[in-house]
Amino acid sequence: MNDSLYQQLIEQVFGPEETDISTELAPLYRELENVLREARPGRKSQEEVSYRFERLRLGLGISLLQLLTDLGGDEESLQVRELLQEALQAPSVKAIDQAIQKKGYVFEDLFTDLYVNTDAELVLALFEETLNASSKEETDELIDRALSLAEDLEFHPGDAEDGPEE
């Protein structure tokens, strides 16, 4: 897989117009591919690969949470998305983990308080799988599934609907 599916997902979720977040997320897949190509055996290379992989997972998570928010998700989905965006600014895997652990309670709130409908359940299940992904191949599959789901949902980025249809 190349990063074209990831780019399609970003555009599907955030719309065709560039926004701050879509501009920030767009290069994440390419950055991972670049460090994988250049990686040499050794600790420093592995740390960089791990860091770029974590950033890609954050980007996928942010995209899924944006879908959830667009489906009528409540404050919890917005809080988790904002936390992931904060973690995206971290300079290392350890700093990413620390940023997320500091406000880890918002994940629990998301999974317990979310107003659930069929589409939201699908997005939330993909988000949970994203949290557990441990390889680029798993992430590639999740990106493909997220893009398919985003294309199938009955809304467009920026719609002013009050919430999901019943």
| pLDDT tens per residue, range 120-163 | 888 989 999 999 999 999 999 999 999 999 998 866 454 444 44
For residues 28 and 59, is the Cβ–Cβ distance under 8 A? yes
Q: How many Å is the Cα radius of gyration of the chain?
A: 16
Residue type, 114: L
- Output the average pLDDT for the chain: 87
Residue type, 84: L
What pLDDT score was predicted for residue 28? 97
For residues 18 and 55, is the Cβ–Cβ distance under 8 A? no
What pLDDT score was predicted for residue 119? 82
Top mean pLDDT of 82-86, 116-120, 153-157 is at 82-86
Distance from C-alpha of 85 to C-alpha of 61, rounded to nearest angstrom: 9
